[in-house]
Structure 1
Amino acid sequence: MSQNPAPAAPTLAWLSDPQVFAVGRLDPVSDHVTYPDTTKATFGAPSPWRQSLDGQWLVASAPRADKRPVGFEQPSFDRSGFAPIEVPGALQLQGHGRPQYVNTQYPWDGHDALKAGEVPEDNLVGCYVRSFTLEDAFKGKRTILTFEGVETAFYVWLNGRFVGYAEDSFTPSRFDVTDHLVEGENLLAVEVYHRSSGAWLEDQDFWRLSGIIRPVFLEAWPERHVRDIFLNTDLTDDFSQASLRLRLKLDLPAADKTRLRLSLSDPNGKVVLQDERDADAEMDFYLPVADPLLWSAEAPHLYHLTLSLLDGAGHVTEVVPQRVGFRQFELKDGVMRLNGKRIVFRGVNRHDFNPRRGRSVTLDDMLWDVQFFKQNNINAVRTSHYPNRSEFYALCDEYGLYLIDEANLETHGTWSIEKTDPDRVIPRDRDEWRPAVLDRAANMLARDKNHPSVLIWSCGNESYGGRVLADMANYFRECDPSRLVHYEGVFHDRRFDTETSDMETRMYARPQAVEEYLRSNPEKPFVSCEYMHAMGNSLGGMHFYTDLTYRYEQCQGGFIWEYIEQALYGTAADGSEQLLFGGEFGDRPTDYNFCADGLVTADRKTTPKMQEVKALYQPVRLLPDGKGVRVINDNLFVSLDAFVLRYRVLRDGEEIASGTADAKVSAGEEAYVALSLPGLSEAGEYTLQGWLEERHDRLWAKAGHEVAFGEHIWRVAKPPEAVAEPQLKLVRGDYNYGVSDGHTKAIFCRRFGGPVSLVNTAGREFLEKPPRPIFWRAPVDNDRGAKFGAIYGHWRSASLDAHQSSYTYTDRGADYRFKVPGSREEVSVSYRFQADGSIAVSAHWPGDPALPAPPLFGLMLPMPRAFDRFRYYGLGPEENYADRNKGARLGIYERSVVDNVTPYVTPQESGNRTGVRWADMFDADGNRLRIQALHAPFELGVSPYTPFQIESAPRPIDLPKPNRTIVTVLARQMGVAGDDSWGSLAHPPYLIEAGEPLTVEFSLRIS
């Protein structure tokens, strides 16, 4: 065991010296836990040899080092001015300083002109203290103090004596404090600094926080101690036999013999291997395992290894329980393979995040995340952009998730400028940064190396390229050839391309660029380490990426950015508690709402985007036709025996038949399952829907949980019917034209461009104002990043300023034409009473090739607020768009108008539905307006707000109190896009072309 000697007098100069990052810190080791005997040694159980120091501490903070309480670490210091604080937790979220969100820029940019490694004078420092009494189980043993994570640099004293110093915020720092302890009460003091040279290596896209953010504990080491474990599983070519390799580092007494005993049990508890041998300080040996059950995300089989150390008399002195996953991950013929099978990552990028605690996540947070991933067909996580809490890896082992484990390294602000200056980039080829960078690699590998879920080591994120990163990659390979190495930054600096990354990995490459690479006969497989920027109403066109994984063997999936929005609870301008984004804490510089780009909200509520993700990530493809279902099992290792195939038949949205079937399809195979369906000859629209459900309870879901879905839609034609002329009462006034069929009465106005009244026999008014042509939507985040206003701004004014140019009354209704500013073309809207009491509406835009295409076209119908619910037959249940409806399904759905507004952090277009056949707007008294598609389905938007109200509100609390219902019936709306949020619009199939004529036709019927 090595430990850098701790000088008697620490110095603040260490903070700005990149070559000082660990003083008095022990070498990193695996994250195993030791126990005194086998009765207590259960994996994950609390150990009597660990004493938690979490809970309430005392703290005093200062905005800069020269204002801190010097000498606070001494037992005699007067700490009456110190305040309570929870550990783990961030200083800034407990009343000390304020959180700051920046993305690529360094947080001090514009305040201080610093050279790489220097720290600003304004540098929040937190001076922590707590007392403890060592538990009896520690007596006579060495005592190790462990901090699992402290941002970003800290000094430690025990009973007034200096212990050590460390950086690297997201891996453990361990100190031997045996000689610093006293009988009775001990005083632990920690001085934490927000900025250090280490902060230059931690320029991640996240809130800049500091403090003791992860657990703190004491650990007892007996005389005979398993200090480090390194497990590897080697498999034969046919995967029928395995060798378990153990590399151990032990602390042993010199004067007495020690024996090592081990026992390995399979996932069912059967002992499959036992061994006992003399122990040495360093051991490296193999043990055979026959017919191993292999670990994968689909079938996460875990063996249980128990290591015991025995003294010369044969007494057990220490026990270590350890999980083992037998699996082999390799790059073969240019393709990544797990246990011999080509793997596809259906992944997300994940930060440790809690909206009240920042990166101090709880065990419940981590468990919720893992179960959520499994429930939504996510099989992989990239730990962006630092090692996550150790317990998260254990959950991934148990539940089955593949991990890219990413080193705590990002230096984005040193190179992401208008023109990269190589002299500014760190670490690049700079020798003074190499030790700190390699130390971060060593810390991560040492802690996480025994987790089967970790398939790939990552050299960090967005740190350009260079020799130092290549050295890190080679370090990973030398220490652990059983895994591959990932690094995206070589895309910017190809000098050490193949040396640094085993795969071609890019961020936000459009699918056309990905396909171009895949068609170039590449040596490396392709992974999108970040794609589908999930900011606001996004993820349009995701299927273009997932489609490539089925067409190209070397396209091996990707990781959506990102999983969870990083918004923090705080006090809004109106005094209420809200989730706030960058800048709303007074933090400058900031990147504002760019932290809100997740699939789930900061408080872990699912967004409608997950409907698409779950569908496109499903591991089984179900392709129904009119007689059965084609089942393609894309799982690599598991058959579908554990699932039930359920199906139902809908006619015009109503269920008329249902049933179950077995789909016992082996991994990688497909089969056609014929279904016994009733005669389906009656006229109408039919839908055959099939879905796979879990047959039994799983760790992450109950029996009945849906895993995969597919549907087929067809029509049985209805014979044409004779159309009668309606019997109408007509009243021609000077300004208004009344038309009534005895049930519905409409008043058309020549001044206001449409019907000003639509009432039933009871006098209930259904219109607040006349319907108006609409070309504009409230921009989504992707629109704003793509200069939506500059490109399409004309259509905003066109929607506001289009005016009636002519009108014509007919014997059954009225026609209107609207002049569109800046165009020679006009919108025509017609209304015609039909024999069935409905009013046929047709709105037509002929297109104008002289103008850019509009974002959308249709009619906006303002209705009274009382019509506060709607029911529709179309695609749902969640909002969907032309480029994001692969996960939607045809059905009849209902919800309130208010709930149809998705609460994105920044108000924007939301709540749209595609493929709508009909929609009912109704009030509490049962009054109903049916909007029926006439020739083709329409798109439907329902909201309490106009698009202009939405786009003018910076935050949801700025939206006005709902006082109307806005129904938008659209011929088409452009997609929401999602390739990125800083320049990419929707793909061409989901844009409206310049000059394209657009027509929407529907009927209005009161009941």
Structure 2
Amino acid sequence: MAFDLSGIWEFKLLEPGQKEREEQAAGKLLKNSLPMPVPSSYNDIYPGKKFADHMGDMVYQRSFTVTETMQRQGRLVLRFGGVTHTASVYLNGAHLGCHKGGFLPFSFDITESAVMGENLLTVYVNNVTDYSTLPCGRVVTEQFPGLPEQTRNLPNFDFFNYSGIMRPVWLYTTPRYYIEDIEVYGRMDGSFCWNITSAGEGAGEAEVRVLDAEGACVFSGSGANGEGRVPGARLWSTDDPYLYRLQVRLPGADGGQGDEYTESFGFREIAIRDCRILLNGKPVYLKGFGKHEEGITRGRGTDIALMVKDLGLLKWIGANSFRTSHYPNSEEMMRLCDRLGILVIDEAPAVGLNTGFTATGLLGGNPKGTWETLETAEHHRTVMQELVKRDKNHPCVIAWSVANEPASQEEGAREYFAPLMEVTRQNDIQKRPVTIVTYEGSTPETCQVAELCDFLMLNRYRGWYDTEGNLEGAAAKLKAELEGFHRRCPDKPVMLGEYGADTIAGLHDVNGRLFSEEYQTAFMRAYGEVFDSLPYITGEHVWVFADFATAENIKRVDGNKKGIFTRDRRPKQAAYFLKERWSRL
């Protein structure tokens, strides 16, 4: 049994020092609260700059009912899809625990702490980013004449710090003997393997069946782990995203109630050979975007309708892939990509790992002290383990991105990332490619991490942040740099993870000046000509799918405008160019 706790919760922003007092009353109803939709980012729900830009703690609260029928099921679990960035959870005034990291799920067994009837759930959320969090930020205190000190949280990343309970919250039941985790990997030849983790002593041996899309059983077996084969298995691909289902049943002890779960998967393999990423043994050229999970009003809150619309636009424009920049997307999005055949580079929320960046990603700060300053290594390791555990069975996931635009040119970068790359590979039985997405400061001569990566993913803005307005010169610099990386790593595929130009929708210029729709289209054309001239380029991801909100900055007019679509998903001129280009590739 599962119950969606989405809906209207009670909500209140907390002043500095107020959380400690509030927690002492976690078992009581909130006073002076506001209604708040969950899931959503709280920031844009009510007017007021101080409300939207609040730094620090906030509290959510709602009640739910536990019935006798639910208790008879055996075990009761509370699951959060994602709370940004840290959560401290109380049930009926008792502390259940904490979770750090805003984009991955966590859960609590509340069998013993829940009571029959009404239960009060209180969640304290903190949205501060600093040198210990992913993504990273800085907390600064400033003094202005005649005013008290002001403390601000400056992001090291170029997107708005949307916060809150941003993904669904579920209450569900399981038997006392239950399935804790399922791992399944289907290969091209129809062979597959499974690993089942169960909990609760005395459960019977797991029973396993594979069902095709029509529900017919094509394999049956047993055991907590094992291997099997489906003769003539239909492969999962972008053109034919065929899904099978692994049905697992765990009998209860002595004939008691057992547990059952069904996990979708596909038969497909990812490999790298001859400077190409291969899907099912054939080269695949990645066409698509870096893509934020963001829209109007809900911010980064889960929005099923917007997800489906976005993937429909991806299909319309001829894209076959995107990167979850710069954090894991929701589980609902991953399931949709499985179903629609969209290839996903799954990225950790490790952005801003560069003390030389300041708010909105502009250069500044301390350009040399990153790896002596950051305190993220252990948390980063946990995040990679959680990410692979959550998304390991999705056929849409073809690669892992451990970080975006870190200070990978600084001494210490290799020592920081080598263990993270290793733990990612160790936790993935499919051994999907792993990469680190690097920026212009990390050149073929200075990059410390290129050899750690299975393929190179580069963010480059020649023609925008430098060589602005000179696309001929920008293309020449881009090509020379790509050739430099290929000479250094001749066996590794290379792709552009980001390239783009801010564009004001509706702004036209006969001379194709900066910010015009004509310049964005010419920018795409110039980069495309470079890609087409180099046989080792394995993909192109434009920055960005749609315009998005950022922190306030004089270089960001109402957010980042590099979208090929506007924030409300209207196509700019460049969308039609890319649609025509990608239809030919």
CA distance in 2, matches of 1:63, 1:518: 53
**Which residue in 1 is equivalent to 2:467?**
none
**Which residue in 1 is equivalent to 2:425?**
477
Contact 2:252 2:259 in 1 (8 A): no
Match of 1:616 among 574, 581, 585: 581
Shift of the 337–74 alpha-carbon distance from structure 1 to 2, 3 Å rule, reads closer
CA distance in 2, matches of 1:429, 1:338: 40
Which structure 2 residues correspond to residues 76-91 of structure 1 after superposition, within 5 A? Answer: 77=28, 79-91=30-42
CA distance in 2, matches of 1:498, 1:540: 33
**Which residue in 1 is equivalent to 2:329?**
388
Match of 2:394 among 442, 446, 451: 451
Shift of the 474–389 alpha-carbon distance from structure 1 to 2, 3 Å rule, reads same
Shift of the 67–436 alpha-carbon distance from structure 1 to 2, 3 Å rule, reads closer
Q: 376-385 or 297-306: which moved more? A: 297-306
- Structure 2 residue 316 is matched with structure 1 residue 362: no
**Which residue in 1 is equivalent to 2:5?**
53
**Which residue in 1 is equivalent to 2:43?**
92
Match of 2:108 among 172, 175, 191: 175
Instruction: Give 1:406's aligned amino acid.
Output: E
**Which residue in 1 is equivalent to 2:150?**
none
Shift of the 469–315 alpha-carbon distance from structure 1 to 2, 3 Å rule, reads same
Shift of 1:501: 4.8
CA distance in 1, matches of 2:365, 2:125: 33
Contact 2:76 2:111 in 1 (8 A): yes
**Which residue in 2 is equivalent to 1:607?**
572
**Which residue in 2 is equivalent to 1:560?**
542
Contact 2:12 2:59 in 1 (8 A): yes
- Structure 2 residue 32 is matched with structure 1 residue 133: no
Shift of 1:507: 2.7
CA distance in 2, matches of 1:99, 1:439: 33
Which structure 2 residues correspond to residues 214-253 of structure 1 after superposition, within 5 A? Answer: 214-235=167-188, 241-253=189-201
Instruction: Give 1:565's aligned amino acid.
Output: D
- The answer to which structure has the higher helix fraction is 2
Match of 1:211 among 156, 159, 164: 164
CA distance in 2, matches of 1:177, 1:87: 21
CA distance in 1, matches of 2:85, 2:308: 26
Shift of the 212–431 alpha-carbon distance from structure 1 to 2, 3 Å rule, reads closer
Shift of 1:444: 1.1
CA distance in 2, matches of 1:100, 1:131: 25
Match of 2:213 among 229, 248, 267: 267
Instruction: Give 2:500's aligned amino acid.
Output: M
CA distance in 1, matches of 2:248, 2:529: 47
- Structure 2 residue 352 is matched with structure 1 residue 399: no
Shift of 1:67: 7.5
Shift of 1:212: 1.1
Shift of the 441–539 alpha-carbon distance from structure 1 to 2, 3 Å rule, reads farther
CA distance in 2, matches of 1:315, 1:346: 51
CA distance in 2, matches of 1:316, 1:549: 58
Match of 2:369 among 424, 432, 456: 424
CA distance in 1, matches of 2:582, 2:562: 19
**Which residue in 1 is equivalent to 2:280?**
339
CA distance in 2, matches of 1:137, 1:546: 61
Residues 936-984 of structure 1 deviation map (CA, whole Å, 9 limit, x = unaligned)? xxxxxxxxxxxxxxxxxxxxxxxxxxxxxxxxxxxxxxxxxxxxxxxxx
Shift of 1:267: 3.5
Shift of 1:130: 1.0
Instruction: Give 2:186's aligned amino acid.
Output: T
CA distance in 1, matches of 2:128, 2:565: 30
CA distance in 2, matches of 1:229, 1:97: 45
**Which residue in 2 is equivalent to 1:70?**
22
Match of 1:495 among 448, 468, 478: 448
> Where in structure 1 are there 5+ consecutive unaligned residues?
1-48, 102-106, 108-121, 236-240, 278-282, 568-580, 622-633, 635-1007
Residues matched between the structures, number: 521
CA distance in 2, matches of 1:137, 1:498: 56
What is the SS of the residue equivalent to 1:320?
A: strand
**Which residue in 1 is equivalent to 2:94?**
161
- Structure 2 residue 204 is matched with structure 1 residue 258: yes
Contact 1:128 1:190 in 2 (8 A): yes
Contact 1:129 1:189 in 2 (8 A): yes
Shift of the 62–56 alpha-carbon distance from structure 1 to 2, 3 Å rule, reads same
The two structures have a TM-score, normalised by structure 1, of 0.49
CA distance in 1, matches of 2:545, 2:56: 30
What is the SS of the residue equivalent to 1:476?
A: helix
- Structure 2 residue 186 is matched with structure 1 residue 186: no
CA distance in 2, matches of 1:58, 1:547: 54
Instruction: Give 2:573's aligned amino acid.
Output: P
**Aligned residues: CA RMSD:** 2.8
Instruction: Give 2:538's aligned amino acid.
Output: Q
What is the SS of the residue equivalent to 1:179?
A: coil
Match of 1:142 among 75, 86, 101: 75
Instruction: Give 2:272's aligned amino acid.
Output: L
**Which residue in 2 is equivalent to 1:716?**
none
Shift of the 442–535 alpha-carbon distance from structure 1 to 2, 3 Å rule, reads farther
**Which residue in 2 is equivalent to 1:543?**
525
CA distance in 2, matches of 1:154, 1:96: 24
Shift of 1:176: 2.1
Contact 1:350 1:563 in 2 (8 A): yes
Instruction: Give 1:262's aligned amino acid.
Output: V
Shift of the 168–424 alpha-carbon distance from structure 1 to 2, 3 Å rule, reads same
CA distance in 1, matches of 2:65, 2:554: 44
CA distance in 2, matches of 1:440, 1:100: 29
Instruction: Give 1:184's aligned amino acid.
Output: G
CA distance in 1, matches of 2:161, 2:364: 26
Contact 1:73 1:188 in 2 (8 A): no
Aligned-pair identity (%): 25
CA distance in 1, matches of 2:49, 2:43: 5
Shift of the 191–333 alpha-carbon distance from structure 1 to 2, 3 Å rule, reads same
Instruction: Give 1:165's aligned amino acid.
Output: C
Shift of the 253–90 alpha-carbon distance from structure 1 to 2, 3 Å rule, reads same
CA distance in 2, matches of 1:497, 1:322: 35
- The answer to which structure has the higher strand fraction is 1
What is the SS of the residue equivalent to 2:568?
A: coil
Contact 2:129 2:135 in 1 (8 A): no
Which structure 2 residues correspond to residues 543-942 of structure 1 after superposition, within 5 A? Answer: 543-567=525-549, 583=552, 591-618=556-583, 621=584
What is the SS of the residue equivalent to 2:102?
A: coil
Shift of the 419–369 alpha-carbon distance from structure 1 to 2, 3 Å rule, reads closer
CA distance in 2, matches of 1:357, 1:145: 23
- Structure 2 residue 469 is matched with structure 1 residue 526: no
> Where in structure 2 are there 5+ consecutive unaligned residues?
137-155, 463-473, 505-516
Shift of 1:160: 0.7
Shift of 1:346: 0.6
Shift of 1:136: 4.7
The two structures have a TM-score, normalised by structure 2, of 0.82
CA distance in 1, matches of 2:25, 2:436: 42
CA distance in 2, matches of 1:66, 1:80: 13
CA distance in 2, matches of 1:423, 1:582: 24
Higher relative contact order (CA 8 A, sep 6+): 2
Kindly name which structure, 1 or 2, has the bigger radius of gyration based on alpha carbons: 1
CA distance in 1, matches of 2:62, 2:198: 32
Shift of the 63–335 alpha-carbon distance from structure 1 to 2, 3 Å rule, reads same
Shift of the 193–432 alpha-carbon distance from structure 1 to 2, 3 Å rule, reads closer
Shift of 1:195: 1.0
What is the SS of the residue equivalent to 1:127?
A: strand
Shift of 1:264: 1.4
What is the SS of the residue equivalent to 2:449?
A: helix
Shift of 1:590: 8.2
